[in-house]
Chains A and B, each alone.
Chain A
Amino acid sequence: MGATFDLWKLIKTVLFYTAVVFIVVVSVFPFYYAILTSFKQGTDIFRISYWPTSFSLENYQAVFSQGSFPRNLLNSVFVASVTVILALFLAVTAAFALSRVRFRGRGFLLMVILAVSMFPQIAVLSGLFELIRALGIYNTPWALIFSYTIFTLPFTVWVLTTFMRDLPIEIEEAAIVDGATPWVIITRVFMPLMWPALVTTGLLAFIGAWNEFLFALTFTSSNDTRTVPVAIALLSGGSQYEVPWGIIMAASVIVTVPLVILVLIFQRKIVSGLTAGGVKG
């Protein structure tokens, strides 16, 4: 009896760890394969291998010597950061209003914000283009910061609203008794409590802005203003039809590593951020 029970337990454990290993392998393998490919050269790229066979940094050098990749990296960092800061600033105040104050049409407003987050990018592309040219910010980082608001803002408002709703009333009550204005309540009372939420939403919005491609391609027109995803799409081989797989993979690794590191650092926070954003609907 005891022996069969142990066997069953063993099988369960083995099955469980098989599942764990499977999940990890499936998740990581394509990235691993990209790294592998990025170390290959020439015709070697067309040969399949599962383990590192060659180690050449030539593709990485090519990435940094072609076009202006370092500059594009800086652009991406700048655009994504400013977009996030702006979105958080607008969203924190809005989330306060939406979560802590009751007023007519609150549910409707939340629906509207959700509706905005379901706009297909393609549907607003031409209108945005006109607008950006009219504002005179075409081919500047501001064009991207401006247009990225369309997806970062609704998202941050939603997540922060759910976060704020969960904060205990008592804290706010005390501040109100002391005669604090709503602005003071936000900046002095809520903000300190919301750092984890802000970091999480910020990071998620950052990933969104960092990865965006269509707007970035349309609203910039020079090497000096382009962002990294566009730069990757623009990486080129020796001639018109040649696809430089090795270099593309190298660039992909360069772009993804910072995100992976960010994710590793903040993974706990991301999980709790999504908890608040999703569950309390």
Chain B
Amino acid sequence: MKINKLLVGLLTSVTLVASVAQAAELSMVSGDTGNGLEFLRTQLDKFEADTGNTVTIVPMPSSTSDQFGQYKLWLAAGNADIDVYQTDVIWAPQLADQFLDLTDAAKDVVSQHFPSIIESQTVDGKLVALPAFTDAPALFYRKDLLEKYSKPVPTTWDEMAATAKEIQDAERAAGNAEMYGFVFQGNAYEGLTCNALEWVKSNGGGQIVEADGTISINNPQAAAAIDRAAAWIGTIAPEGNLAYQEEESRGVWQLGNSVFMRNWPYAYALSAGDDSAVKGKFEVAPLPGGDGEGSGSAATLGGWNVAVSKYSSDPEEAIKLALYLSSTEVQKERSINQSNLPTIEALYDDADVLKASPFMANWKEIFQNAVPRPSAPTKIKYNEVSSLFWSAVHSTLSGNGTAAENLEGLEADLTDLKGDAW
């Protein structure tokens, strides 16, 4: 892809003049992986060429909780070795004190991004981080199998479960003993919070903790949604799904052993790879919805951002780097090369982007139903809230108590944790 010269010009004209004189040595941490890091490097090379600064990447473990612990420790110690951090969408409220306010620096570009994403990175009026890309899961389905059994793409969870069961049983009878109906992320970790939030929200059961800080999780619709998911285990989903993270689900799916899968866009490119058993046989759709009042498809909002450490020795150049990495130019490259979803709305209609990743057109719809995890209202306590939530859900899925019982306990725990205020 050719660089969009005009955009480069717009974004870096100011920087060019200023920075040639005083080149800075910046370093940024990234939990990104393999191709992602290579891509980041190519983008940073451009930045270096344009500004004369040098940027070193410090790679981190891909486990987000490893990254988070590490960053917290470094920031607490006032580590000046790292200037720019790549942050998860849920971290902004927890690390807000340690990052610079980017409101002024980004005032000309914030309007290009989805407002909900900018909002998620704004804490008490302070723009903590700039979005680099966003993420929202979808329902992956086996086009060939749905056609074979002439089933429509399910739009409710019950429909999905019924279809999954029917095809699974028929395929097993036909000799594929390893066939399952649905795989998702059921391990006790942040991913389960994402999955369960979708079940609850799509069933009209709220968002665990509402934007105003009210604990809403203990309600019949939420309980029904989680009970419904618990019934999947051992029927349409393997027992082992209780230990699955993204990769395990993809493993089952990509061997052609599941009719449906809930996963992030990254799985799209891999499933379409040459060694994939489902190549050319699958498609994506928005996740199903529930039935009660206020139900409808919901997709948990993921995504990554760039933030500038307040201990950076060269904050000005570091802010320029953050602006650059969230710019239209880089996001466009990213969506073409990495199939990452852009946070800039206009890019979803961009011909080049759609040509390279046609499935992104589907994701615009998915993204419209995106629901944030309650990291903003619960502030620094979010990790604990999430941990309590996924534990309660995991207990229910494993058959330790009904959803109603576990959610009642969860409500009490959350109330305790909240104290007077979050």
Contacts and interface: CB of A to CB of B under 8 A. Distances in A.
Q: Do chains A and B touch in the complex (CB under 8 A)?
A: yes
Interface of A: 41-44, 46-47, 66-67, 126, 129-130, 133, 138-139, 217-218, 221-223, 233-234, 236-244
Chain B at the A interface: mostly helix, strand, loop or mixed?
Answer: mixed
Contacts of A222: 27, 56, 58, 81
B156 interface: no
11 contacts: A44-B275, A66-B34, A133-B79, A139-B81, A221-B81, A233-B61, A233-B66, A234-B61, A239-B36, A241-B267, A243-B62
B35 interface: yes
Interface stretch (B69-77, B104-112, B354-362, B393-401): B69-77
Contacts of A218: 70, 73
B77 A242 contact: no
B59 A67 contact: yes
Given A238-B33, A241-B245, A241-B246, A221 B276 contact: no
Given A223-B58, A238-B34, 11 more contacts: A41-B275, A126-B73, A233-B61, A233-B66, A234-B59, A240-B264, A241-B62, A241-B263, A241-B264, A241-B267, A242-B266
Interface string B243-270: 0011100110011000000011011011
Contacts of B128: none
Given A130-B77, A233-B61, A234-B60, A241 B266 contact: yes
B412 interface: no
Interface string B304-340: 0000000000000000000000000000000000100
Contacts of A236: 32-34, 36-37, 59, 62
Contacts of B59: 67, 223, 234, 236
The 5 closest A-B pairs by CB, nearest first: A236-B33, A241-B246, A42-B275, A239-B266, A43-B275
A219 B95 CA distance: 20
Contacts of A67: 59
Contacts of A234: 59-62
Interface string B44-63: 00000000000010111110
A46 B254 contact: yes
A13 B345 CA distance: 76
A42 B271 CA distance: 11
A242 B270 contact: yes
B34 A239 contact: yes
Contacts of B371: none
Given A241-B250, A242-B266, A242-B270, A43 B36 contact: no
B32 to A, nearest CB: 7
A47 B251 CA distance: 10
Contact of A129 (B66, B77, B254, B266): B77
A233 B66 CA distance: 10
A221 B57 CA distance: 10
B277 interface: yes
Contact of A238 (B35, B58, B255): B35
B294 interface: no
B273 interface: yes
Contact of B33 (A130, A138, A239): A239
Contacts of B31: 240
Contact of A242 (B33, B60, B70, B276): B33
Contacts of B34: 66, 236-239, 242, 244
B82 interface: yes
A141 to B, nearest CB: 15
B184 to A, nearest CB: 13
A217 B70 contact: yes
Interface in B351-410: none
A239 B79 CA distance: 28
B254 A240 contact: no
A66 B33 CA distance: 10
B254 A238 contact: no
Interface in B66-98: 66, 70, 73-74, 77, 79, 81-82
Nearest to A218: B73
Contacts of B263: 241
Q: Which of A66, A129, A139, A237 has the most CB of B within 10 A?
A: A237
A242 B255 contact: no
A182 B61 CA distance: 50
Nearest to B274: A42
Contact of B61 (A126, A129, A217, A242): A217
